Structure 1
Amino acid sequence: MYLASKFYLSRILGRPVYLSREKRIVGHIADLYVDTSFERPKVIAIKLRGGLILDIASIDIVKDGAQYAFFCSSIRDKDISGNDKYLSLLDTMLDKQIVDLDGHKVVRVNDLRLAVVSTGIFLIAVDVGMEGLLRRLGIAKQIKRILKPMHKNIPSRLILWDDVQTVDAKSKGLTLTAQAEKISMLHPSDVADIIEDLDKNTQASMFAALDEEKAADVLEEMEPEAQIRMIDSLSISKAADVLEKMPADEAADIMDILNNNMVEELLTEMDRNASEEVRELMEYPENTVGSLMSTDFVTVEDEDMTVQD
């Protein structure tokens, strides 16, 4: 037996925790709690079936062959109430949607990779591949044995925590504003694709967390159905602010697919000049030259420049 250095969450769920001195089972692992105030989430407690929460400081993790064993030096209940930084891995990560910042897409978490170092146990990567799912089901090894004679492997995909951004709106304590900071650094078309791949509740929360200029850029890149959902999800005031940041012709195109009552509310709420520009463009019949025009223009200050130049 030796101290474990890395392990998957799925491999330890249901494992017994022993009281070191008496070698009796205290309970079986149901979940891990992490402190998200660290650069990488740090495990602070183990939750046992039945509700007892043990302070991780009293736990040693040992690997014996292919199995993991947990020994606690004392039964010290950990109080995790009242701290939004303390999160359950099962509730907030496993099976939840995340954004792969490197791949610019939404994926689902099948398993979690943790590492034991001198300063504690940290979440270092998420498994979004088929192997992670099969590991959860307890059949990964059997499938590997079947595939081995054919020289094939189970598709595996680990994403380092540094390249992960959680986005699930139901994740307790995870503020979407903070999450949007990393995502908003991506190109607007990538952000639009990511948001459109999320469930409707999370779409609205993530879009609302973008600043107005970024939201305007992202809205331009979305499909009409998604544009309607995003505008509907915002307050009239916030929606008007976002539309003001868009070129007037783009804003007019979006107005054309909204219901008339909302259009009038938005135009009334918008800055007067911006509102008048959009109204003017909306007066032209669809697909006419006027409707395709933009009120934005470029000025040239060189008085000696001719049209030919």
Structure 2
Amino acid sequence: MRDGLRFGLLGPPVVYDGDGVVRPIGSDKMRALLVALLLEPGRVVSVDALKDALWGGAPPASAQASLQNHVTRLRRLLGDDDPARLRAVPPGYLLRVGDGELDVRVFERHAAGAREAHAAGEWERVLSACAAALALWRGTPLSGLPPETGTRALVQRLEEARLLVLEWRYDAELYVGDARLPALVPELAALVAEHPLREGFHRLLMLALHRTGRRAEALAVHRDLRERLVTELGVEPGAAVRSAHVQILRAGDPVRPARPTVPASVSASASASVSAPAHSTTRPGTPAGPRPGTGAAPQPTAVTAPEPAPGPDAVLAPAPAP
């Protein structure tokens, strides 16, 4: 693109110019308008939908004129030298977003690469892709927006995607070597404390403790998780946690987990889009892909929450040609 703009949603909404300098967006209504258009990049967003985003279903009588004024100001923010960037297309407006210009799409691309590498057992590539994906995050997605913008479901989905990428990263760390194992334990302990019902982080902490010679502590993590799940949810730990528990019980001295054999079908299916809607029955907090020390190679799961909301699909869909 000629102007080199970039848009950020993985934190407070932001616009960067070609030199990476932040362009002030302005009022809450301006941010809401920009986000509503970015949720449908390269697609027409109707005037009615934009009014809902700005006024939450109760637009004032002056909404039409006010919306046009906000569009004019947004065009000025994006650059008057490129009128095709934001144009009126009945029944609304279309914001052109090029490849690599929206951080959510870039995150999606790195996450897809991480998932594919994870399914194939290519751990160095997993680490690289996860690092690139996580580096895009600046805080809580879409923070600072007024509640009428209705982005809560999108934020939840993006945060779930980030947690899955974190799980893949720590899986790879356990495979790659022992150098960082002592540092992994406090990092994973902090994640377990932050997400006390998320089984994936508990499983990883159990394995990291076991690998560093702290078998009793690893078993205590399992015991605490099981008690919490049974008490609060009435369920037992899932298969991945049970498998890690059995490994720890049967093992003598901690050993490096054997790299699992990944069926060809797993690698092939891993190329599916991370944004594809998926009504998964996967337990919350149970990561996808092969697991250190379990010998299992589950089918890859899309980077989505179990019940995806309509909004994120629009954000993560492939961009149409300008």
Shorter-chain TM band: 0.3 to 0.5
Give the number of the structure with larger relative contact order, counting CA–CA contacts within 8 Å between residues 6 or more apart: 2
Q: What TM-score results when the alignment is normalised by the length of structure 2? A: 0.34
* Structure with more of its chain in strand, by fraction: 1
* Structure with more of its chain in helix, by fraction: 2
